[in-house]
Structure 1
Amino acid sequence: MIRNGFWRSAAFGAAMLAASVLSPLPAQAVESSDPIKIALFDWTSVNINAKILGGILERMGYTVEYPTADYLSSLTTGLTNGDLTVGVEYWDTTAGEAMKASEATGQTERLGMLGPKAKEEWWFPEYMKAKCPGLPNWEALKDPKCAEAFSTPETAPKGRYLGGPVTWEGFDDERVVALDLPFTVIHAGTDAAMFAELDSAYQRQAPIMLWIYSPHWAPAKYKGEWVQFPEYTPECYTDPKWGVNPDKAYDCGKPHGEIWKFSWGGMKDKWPVAYKVAKAYQIDTDELNKMSGEVDLDGKSIDDVAKAWIDANEAKWKAWAQ
């Protein structure tokens, strides 16, 4: 700073320099003005995380862009060629093979765990157990009466399973065939549409079986259970001889595991401080569930929810840059 045409004392300047270590980087201090591109996908929590991480980097002086990307191909195309810089939610439950393929290219880096544990599976409201008392055991679904209890006019007499958007994959169509389940898989167009349908069915006590994942606000808001399929192993997906059906793969439930962050391999050299922040970035499960509910249930914008977190956790994210 300047006063009366002279710099402040050297001692004050040293103090200011020390204090700046705990302050966001000024724009001129960033290593490159090129935009850091953080991927947006088609569910709420990932976009909250993207906007929190991006908002932190923006306050540090970086230019950030938020391109919408395809979940799985972002690992094997966008991040490998540098069209994307960071993706903040890749779930072991659905992206395990894509993550391995991405790492095998040598062009990406797994930045570590996001924090929450991943679970995704078929889920039903508790009130449906009266119509299918063998639940949550998956074998109850083989009973034609149970399947019909989950049917709709478009699927009757087969049960209806509402899967996630097709980009999530999840192998539900293959699972139905391998386990010989009298169900028809219908894919929701969007994450929001899937949970809107759950809310409508739940309020009417109507039949519904759908893909529910955690972390998410839904398992806390609605009383229900996940179907207990044969436990996943890697062999279930790769070796047809494994499991209850010796002729088909995917005769088990979905994998459980971690949620991972990935970056383009060149990030650590081009933006080393931003890279450090992305590696350090983690979120608490309860925090993430609460923020997702604020967006999906309370109608708040993702940008406002992300900004509130950044404002409330300034000391935490400043430390990530050290």
Structure 2
Amino acid sequence: MRRILTSLIAASAVAFASAAAAAAPESKDPIKITLNDWTGQLLTAHIMGGVLEKAGYTVQYVPADYLAQFAGMRTGDLTVAMEVWATTAKEAMDAAIDAGGVENVGETGMQAREDWWYPSYMKEKCPGLPDWKALKDCAEAFSMPETAPKGRYLGGPVTWGGYDEERIQALDLPFEVVHAGTDAALFAELKSAYERKAPVLLWIYAPHWAPIKYEGEWVEFPKYEKACYEDPAWGSNKEAKYDCAKPVGPIYKAVWTGMKDKWPTAYKAVKAYAFDNKGIGELAARVDIDGEKVEAVAADWVAKNEAVWSAWLK
């Protein structure tokens, strides 16, 4: 019996040593994951970071401008961007890829849509909706003292891009853009307006909890085509670009090209990372609605889903 116990202990020690060796990071330098300014991305970043820390890597979170982050990634000063939306940042990512130093490592599994959105109760005041042309005749229904008689469109933070001002000009819409300072401020205003049935027209995006929690619709603009953003001759205004809806499409992951050689297992994990709209929306609701901390929600997911994320590291 003593021999059996000794053998089992020895075997366990070998297995533990093998596991520890497998988990040893290829480099102790920190993998720098960017933090942008919306809840879903913060969760995605901390989930990926938590998984990499479980694998023995050093992780550093770096707040970064959503569109400007690729400059830091090209030089290796930033390592990973976990959410690059086809709707707003693919052009910036593709330009960085062409310049060198950045790699698109595939889709996250989430599908992006972001555009102008209104609560269903606003159709009574603007019955032609969701057709965008209705906004030409009922802009005053969306006005605020600072914009009257023009309508007020509440856009996302300026760093998100999106060409809203350009679209208003191209389609000759009697609206003014007011940018929310933060993601939290954007949805706090929606919550307040919805509870009071007050006028509101704003940027809503998916994956997110808002279009699930609140009844409403996206405005239907002319369908996006690449030429809309590149050729003024496309569309109804032959002298202006952006006279169409925002693009829809995947959410990608991007990394510094040196990652695959410096941290190959971590690189594989980022490539393998996958989530869906419903999953990230539910987690975001815990933060934005229930008041939990991003770090706590991400850590809870990592703790409960080892069977999922362990496969990313293989």
TM-score category by the smaller chain?
A: over 0.9
CA distance in 2 between counterparts of 1:217 and 1:272 reads 34
Matches within 5 A, 1:43-58: 43-58=38-53
- Offset of residue 284 of structure 1: 2.2
Tell me the residue number matched to 1:232: 224
1:78 and 2:84 matched: no
Identical pairs, percent: 58
Kindly indicate whether the alpha-carbon contact (under 8 Å) linking 1:123 and 1:224 is maintained by their aligned counterparts in 2.
yes
- Offset of residue 320 of structure 1: 1.5
Tell me the residue number matched to 2:32: 37
Tell me the residue number matched to 1:308: 300
CA distance in 2 between counterparts of 1:12 and 1:236 reads 67
CA distance in 1 between counterparts of 2:128 and 2:273 reads 43
- Offset of residue 99 of structure 1: 1.4
CA distance in 2 between counterparts of 1:229 and 1:24 reads 55
* Aligned with 1:319 (options 291, 311, 314): 311
Letter in 2 for 1:121: D
Kindly indicate whether the alpha-carbon contact (under 8 Å) linking 2:74 and 2:101 is maintained by their aligned counterparts in 1.
yes
Letter in 2 for 1:67: V
Tell me the residue number matched to 1:103: 97
- Offset of residue 106 of structure 1: 2.3
- Offset of residue 18 of structure 1: 5.5
Matches within 5 A, 1:15-164: 17=14, 29-75=24-70, 77-143=71-137, 146-164=138-156
CA distance in 1 between counterparts of 2:27 and 2:287 reads 33
Q: Residues 319 and 25 of structure 1: is their aligned pair in 2 closer, same or farther, counting only changes over 3 Å?
A: farther
- Offset of residue 13 of structure 1: 5.1
Letter in 2 for 1:199: K
* Aligned with 2:279 (options 280, 287, 291): 287
Residue segments in structure 2 that go unaligned for 5+ positions in a row? none
- Offset of residue 309 of structure 1: 0.7
The alignment partner of 1:206 has SS state of coil
Superposition TM-score, scaled by structure 2 size: 0.95
Kindly indicate whether the alpha-carbon contact (under 8 Å) linking 1:24 and 1:318 is maintained by their aligned counterparts in 2.
no
Kindly indicate whether the alpha-carbon contact (under 8 Å) linking 1:25 and 1:60 is maintained by their aligned counterparts in 2.
no
- Offset of residue 15 of structure 1: 6.3
Tell me the residue number matched to 1:248: 240
Kindly indicate whether the alpha-carbon contact (under 8 Å) linking 1:24 and 1:59 is maintained by their aligned counterparts in 2.
no
* Aligned with 2:183 (options 174, 178, 191): 191
CA distance in 1 between counterparts of 2:21 and 2:114 reads 39
Kindly indicate whether the alpha-carbon contact (under 8 Å) linking 2:208 and 2:280 is maintained by their aligned counterparts in 1.
yes
CA distance in 2 between counterparts of 1:40 and 1:217 reads 20
Residue segments in structure 1 that go unaligned for 5+ positions in a row? none
CA distance in 2 between counterparts of 1:321 and 1:170 reads 35
Tell me the residue number matched to 2:206: 214
CA distance in 2 between counterparts of 1:93 and 1:41 reads 16
Superposition TM-score, scaled by structure 1 size: 0.93
Kindly indicate whether the alpha-carbon contact (under 8 Å) linking 1:243 and 1:251 is maintained by their aligned counterparts in 2.
yes
CA distance in 1 between counterparts of 2:95 and 2:75 reads 14
Letter in 2 for 1:108: V
Q: Residues 160 and 320 of structure 1: is their aligned pair in 2 closer, same or farther, counting only changes over 3 Å?
A: same
The alignment partner of 2:280 has SS state of helix
CA distance in 1 between counterparts of 2:20 and 2:180 reads 42
- Offset of residue 312 of structure 1: 1.1
CA distance in 2 between counterparts of 1:311 and 1:222 reads 31
Matches within 5 A, 1:242-281: 242-281=234-273
The alignment partner of 1:93 has SS state of coil
Kindly indicate whether the alpha-carbon contact (under 8 Å) linking 1:85 and 1:264 is maintained by their aligned counterparts in 2.
yes
Q: Residues 306 and 73 of structure 1: is their aligned pair in 2 closer, same or farther, counting only changes over 3 Å?
A: same
Tell me the residue number matched to 1:172: 164
Kindly indicate whether the alpha-carbon contact (under 8 Å) linking 1:126 and 1:224 is maintained by their aligned counterparts in 2.
yes
The alignment partner of 1:138 has SS state of coil
The alignment partner of 1:79 has SS state of helix
| Structure 1 vs Structure 2 CA RMSD | 2.0
- Offset of residue 17 of structure 1: 5.0
CA distance in 1 between counterparts of 2:193 and 2:176 reads 18
